[in-house]
Amino acid sequence: MRPGQRRQQGLQYGIYLLLMQTVNIGIDKIPPATLIGVILQTLLYVGLIQVPWNAEEVCISAVKILKYKNWRSFFLSNFEHGSDMHLYYNMISFILKGSYLEPIYGTINFVFLLFVLSTGCSAMYVFLGYMLTQLTGDYGYYTTCAIGFSATLFALKVIALCEERDRLHNINGFHVQSKLAVWVELILIHLLVPNSSFVGHLGGILVGCLYSYTFVGEMVDNMIHMITGKPIIHEEQFYRSRNTLFT
């Protein structure tokens, strides 16, 4: 999402909804890393975690990284949000995806995977911004700034879909196969939420595909295994997916 306001104080409607939904899901049912991630991003948004920047100051764009070497934006833009509802939708999505993937991979492995995915999404956003500017001549791709956890969530969605058996997904009334679900969701969000970052979401999907369908995922798994001493165990269908992207 494009940043549009400074950090808000207090209990806004989206924060209230997030609290209610979290209670309804059951705090005890949310894995620890996922729960801590939700809490920290919420406290950051409402200003209870004091930091020396505002959300719009750490938004990411290709020009900020490639020209001005603003590495603070490269790493922090993923965890800021532009509005309370932006935070709400992202954190609910994170709870659902984290509650599925974290128990499979293990908490420590999941934390490292989140770091790799968020970093990869930032790199992909910068790459796409630069390449689209070169291909289209539209300088807006180079300068458009974005914040939010959405790109990482799209990457997680791709991975989660690869872990589960093929089935139909209901997305706003459309029944689509697992492999197409993220692409349909990408288009629908772009149409229904004009202020959302299409390039950021696309970048998240591509990062998820690199992890799920290519040797890059194996390299990431091996690296995390070396760091934590614990292997990432995937479901059988996940391993098959790395060779069957278009079949």
Catalytic residues: 150, 201
* 149 three-class SS: coil
Q: In degrees rounded to 5, what are phi and psi of residue 170? A: -95, 110
Q: Count Cα atoms within 13 angstroms, Cβ side, for 109.
A: 19
Q: Count Cα atoms within 13 angstroms, Cβ side, for 52.
A: 1
| 107, 32 contact by CB (below 8 A) | yes
Q: In degrees rounded to 5, what are phi and psi of residue 146? A: -145, 150
Gap between the Cα atoms of 24 and 81, Å rounded: 23
Integer CA distances (angstroms), 73 to 162, 211, 245, in order: 30, 23, 33
Q: At what angle do helices 198-213 and 178-192 cross, to 10 degrees?
A: 170
| 81, 90 contact by CB (below 8 A) | yes
Entry field: residues in the chain: 247
Gap between the Cα atoms of 49 and 27, Å rounded: 21
Gap between the Cα atoms of 72 and 42, Å rounded: 20
Gap between the Cα atoms of 238 and 192, Å rounded: 31
Integer CA distances (angstroms), 2 to 148, 177, 193, 229, 242, in order: 9, 30, 11, 39, 33
